[in-house]
Chains A and B, each alone.
Chain A
Amino acid sequence: MTIIDKPADVPAPRSGGEKSGRLLDVKDLHVEFHTRDGVVKAVNGVNYSVDAGETLAVLGESGSGKSVTAQAIMGILDMPPGKIPQGEIVFRGQDMLKMSNEERRKVRGRKIAMIFQDALSSLNPVLSVGYQLGEMFRVHEGMSRKQSKAKAVELMDRVKIPAAKERVNDYPHQFSGGMRQRIMIAMALALEPDLIIADEPTTALDVTVQAQVMDLLAELQREYNMGLILITHDLGVVADVADKIAVMYAGRIVETAPVHELYKRPAHPYTRGLLDSIPRLDQKGSELYAIKGLPPNLLKIPSGCAFNPRCPKAQDICRTEVPPLVPVTERDGTDLAGRGSACHFWKETIHG
């Protein structure tokens, strides 16, 4: 039992020069799926970047393309039916989409690791946790069984699994949900990657365990000075850990902003709607604001701005022209660093 405050945002990089600067640049990424019913346009020109030691939160609902983007970065998309017709994924200056499978495999796991939502189905039920953790060292670093097991215990200690030595030979089902998610984190950390992609890492967990796991993740990120892409639908989780946020809708980024700015002054009607539709814990409040309509059908995304059928501000231009992601400025034109909005009426949205 510990009562802690939000830790200060002081990065304490373990190693210096090599692990800094721009890690990942996603440029104009498109992903589509060819299905029985037609072409599902899951990602339609996504741009984002992550630096070392930075946490980017990608926020979106189901069907927004947030997970597909991550799978494309990891190179674990099912192709077919998936297809990347356009775009670049530049990791440390190299476009991963142009790499050979062998090169790609070397990056995956060693440089970029991923944590999934469902830890139980991501772990092999018939192998002990220690064996699965050690596998990374045996495969990538050619360690012996004994060495790799010792490494596994060390990792389990690092993610604060109590009695790691005794539990290293246990099987995944013998651990609770929170502990399993810690094992997943340990596995992702094994080779000290530069970038971790966490896809809804705490969604399946209880609130009290959620906080533990998020804290651990944030702590390890600081310690290793890793980049972190946090994919989630939960505006609350994002507020806790992210440095900057990219909001996705129908396969596009509709707003980017540093975390504090986004909550204070959203510059896209969708973000505003989302924030308004969440009931508050500290107030009773009256009727909830509800975004009208349904999430878009990716088989036939509305023309113009994909959000236009649900948007209270929609005008004719919204139905015909796709709004680009433009920089957002103060009323007087002063730059707002890191802010962008893909709305024809962002000025009205942010400045009232």
Chain B
Amino acid sequence: MPDLMKSPAADEPEVALAPPSGKAAEAGEVGGARSLWGDAWRDLRRRPLFVISGLLILLVLLVSAFPGLFTSADPGSGDLTNNFLGSPQLGHFFQDDWFGYDRQGRSIYARVVFGARNSVMVGLGVTLLVTVFGGLVGMLAGYFGGFWDSLLSRITDVFFGIPFLLGAMVVLNAFTDRDVWVITGALAFLGWTQIARVMRGAVITTKHADYVMAAKALGAGTKRILFRHVLPNAVAPVIVVATIALGTYIVAESTLSYLGLGFASDAVSWGADISDATQDIRNNPHTLIFPAGMLSITVLAFIMLGDAVREALDPKLR
């Protein structure tokens, strides 16, 4: 399962390779080894949507991994005497006052840079947990069917019925010490159902494929069938959904932080900053614009990536 996330972009169902008309004859001469992953990658590389979103995501990942590379300022220390609500200096690239200062005299640029890590970690963490757990549930329900399917599907339905944010608020309210792990856990606890459903459907389609039958006829065990035959062929739609969902988890974290149910007040987080900024938007819009803008761009990048991957996977959209 963990290798699910290794190459989210490089997955393509067989049909995608036929030209849209399906009129092309089969290759008389077989070319060099061209894996389906490789073909999808070649296709994706040519999509501007994929290139732009991919570069943005790379940037965000870099910022969250090495914030020190981008700023030397301390996001926590404020200087109220000099910098109280200082306005942005848009010409001062990468300097402390680039995006201005907030009402505690802290550099907004530094806070945006350091806030990326929390948001991205929550987003990635939730996606990973949800994909592994939801994927497992969906795979077992889809593959074994019958009683297990009924049981697991009903449990999925129960969790599906809980409103995502409301549920997260209730859960997080029970914790006082809310760090990355608690928030990730709470969101994953409520968010796995979507992946489970998608995975279940994909596995049901795949398990009836002839090559699965062929593996059974050879005497292959359940483990081999699941992990060599079913999973690699059922994982494409899950990757698409997970990529798009990643953005929404980041939004959820920010919403919770905005509501005071996310990160503790001393943590750096886009959501908390947005919450702070709302006290005085009219006079100091810059305190809102930069953290909110970064949030939007990050989320958009993930959704765009998901779309690009889905288009590469779905021949009907060509």
Select one of A35, A42, A68, A295 contacting B26, CB under 8 A: A295
Select one of B20, B25, B29, B318 contacting A295, CB under 8 A: B25
Q: Which residue of A lies closest to B29 (CB)?
A: A297
A-B contact pairs, 10 of them (CB 8 A): A65-B23, A81-B20, A81-B21, A250-B25, A293-B28, A294-B26, A295-B25, A295-B28, A296-B25, A297-B29
A297 to B29, CA, bound (A): 8
Select one of B21, B24, B43, B318 contacting A297, CB under 8 A: B24
Q: Which 10 A-B pairs have the closest CB atoms?
A: A35-B19, A63-B25, A297-B28, A33-B21, A40-B24, A298-B25, A42-B23, A294-B28, A297-B25, A295-B25
A299 to B29, CA, bound (A): 11
CB within 8 Å of B: which residues of A?
33, 35-37, 40, 42, 62-63, 65, 68, 78, 81-82, 250, 293-300
* Set of chain B residues within 8 Å of A297, measured between Cβ atoms: 24-29
* Set of chain A residues within 8 Å of B20, measured between Cβ atoms: 33, 35, 78, 81
Flag B287-318 by CB within 8 Å of A: 1 or 0 each.
00000000000000000000000000000001
Q: Which of B4-32 contact A (CB under 8 A)?
A: 19-21, 23-29
* Set of chain B residues within 8 Å of A250, measured between Cβ atoms: 25
Q: Is the CB of B23 within 8 A of A33?
A: yes
Q: Is the CB of B21 within 8 A of A299?
A: no
Q: Which residue of B lies closest to A80 (CB)?
A: B20
A250 to B24, CA, bound (A): 10
A294 to B27, CA, bound (A): 9
CB within 8 Å of A: which residues of B?
19-21, 23-29, 43, 318
A335 to B26, CA, bound (A): 39
A68 to B23, CA, bound (A): 8
* Set of chain B residues within 8 Å of A299, measured between Cβ atoms: 24-25
Tell me the minimal C-beta distance from B24 to chain A in angstroms: 5
* Set of chain B residues within 8 Å of A62, measured between Cβ atoms: 25
* Set of chain B residues within 8 Å of A42, measured between Cβ atoms: 21, 23
A63 to B28, CA, bound (A): 12
Given A294-B28, A297-B28, A37 contacting B23 (CB threshold 8 A): no
Q: Is the interface of B mostly helix, strand, loop or mixed?
A: loop
A65 to B25, CA, bound (A): 10
* Set of chain B residues within 8 Å of A82, measured between Cβ atoms: 21
Q: Which residue of A lies closest to B25 (CB)?
A: A63
* Set of chain B residues within 8 Å of A33, measured between Cβ atoms: 19-21, 23-24
* Set of chain B residues within 8 Å of A78, measured between Cβ atoms: 20-21
A290 to B178, CA, bound (A): 73
Select one of B23, B29, B318 contacting A40, CB under 8 A: B23
Tell me the minimal C-beta distance from B152 to chain A in angstroms: 30
* Set of chain A residues within 8 Å of B29, measured between Cβ atoms: 297
A68 to B19, CA, bound (A): 14
Q: Is the CB of B26 within 8 A of A37?
A: no
A152 to B43, CA, bound (A): 49
Tell me the minimal C-beta distance from A114 to chain B in angstroms: 17
A298 to B21, CA, bound (A): 12
* Set of chain A residues within 8 Å of B318, measured between Cβ atoms: 36
Q: Which residue of B lies closest to A309 (CB)?
A: B28
Q: Which residue of B lies closest to A68 (CB)?
A: B23
Q: Is the CB of B28 within 8 A of A35?
A: no
Q: Is the CB of B26 within 8 A of A36?
A: no
Q: Which residue of B lies closest to A295 (CB)?
A: B25
Tell me the minimal C-beta distance from A73 to chain B in angstroms: 16
* Set of chain A residues within 8 Å of B21, measured between Cβ atoms: 33, 35, 40, 42, 78, 81-82
Q: Which residue of A lies closest to B20 (CB)?
A: A81
Tell me the minimal C-beta distance from A299 to chain B in angstroms: 6
Tell me the minimal C-beta distance from B315 to chain A in angstroms: 10
Tell me the minimal C-beta distance from A60 to chain B in angstroms: 12
* Set of chain B residues within 8 Å of A81, measured between Cβ atoms: 19-21
A190 to B43, CA, bound (A): 46
Tell me the minimal C-beta distance from A79 to chain B in angstroms: 10
